[in-house]
Amino acid sequence: MPQLDFRAPRLFVDHPLKAGETVGILMDTNMTPPQGVFTDFFGIPACTASGLARIALRTDAAVVPGFTVWDPGLRKYRLRFDPALKLIRTGNDDADVVANTALFTKVIEEYVRKYPDQWLWVHRRWKTRPAGEAALY
């Protein structure tokens, strides 16, 4: 099994995509600039991973939201995939990264609102603050 160098995320993602494989990226985590951009999450600016937007815009890879949702009837988790998201492309690369990261974050927020009892969150999501804003924690 090949070893992946997580210090080189572009290689980690590009090789499987070029081979037609699927890549999963977790987005609901605190980041710091420049790896993250500020987008609203529950109405509060959160520094959010922007790599998925950068990769999707650069490679035209489909962004297909996927979530595990507990099914009480089956007494197990189901992996649910939504339709691919339509990327925002205005021609302004920096603005498009922020807009698409905000779009992806909105989808996560919608799932958290729909299944609040299933959202496990063990870190400080709003730890990184925009310049000049006071710490929340």
- What is the distance between the alpha carbons of residues 101 and 48, in angstroms, rounded to a whole number? 7
Residues of the chain with pLDDT > 70, as a percent, come to 91
- pLDDT (average), residues 65-88: 96
For residue 28, pLDDT over 80 is answered with yes
Q: Reply yes or no on whether the pLDDT at 62 is more than 60.
A: yes
pLDDT of 44 higher than 80: yes
User: Which of 111, 105, 107 shows the shortest CA–CA distance to 126?
Assistant: 105
Strand stretches in the chain, DSSP E = 36-41, 44-49, 66-71, 76-81
Give the pLDDT of residue 10: 62
Amino acid at 22: T
Alpha helices in 33-92 (DSSP H): 51-59
**Model pLDDT for residues 8-18, shown as the tens digit of each residue:** 556 677 778 88
The model's pLDDT over 94-109, given as tens digits with 9 standing for 90+, comes to 999 999 999 999 999 9
Q: Output the CA angle 6-91-101, nearest 5 degrees.
A: 40
Model-level pTM?
0.88
* Alpha carbons 76 and 19: distance in angstroms, whole number: 32
Per-residue pLDDT at 93: 96
Give the Cα separation of 49 and 61 in Å (integer): 17
| The residue count for the chain | 137
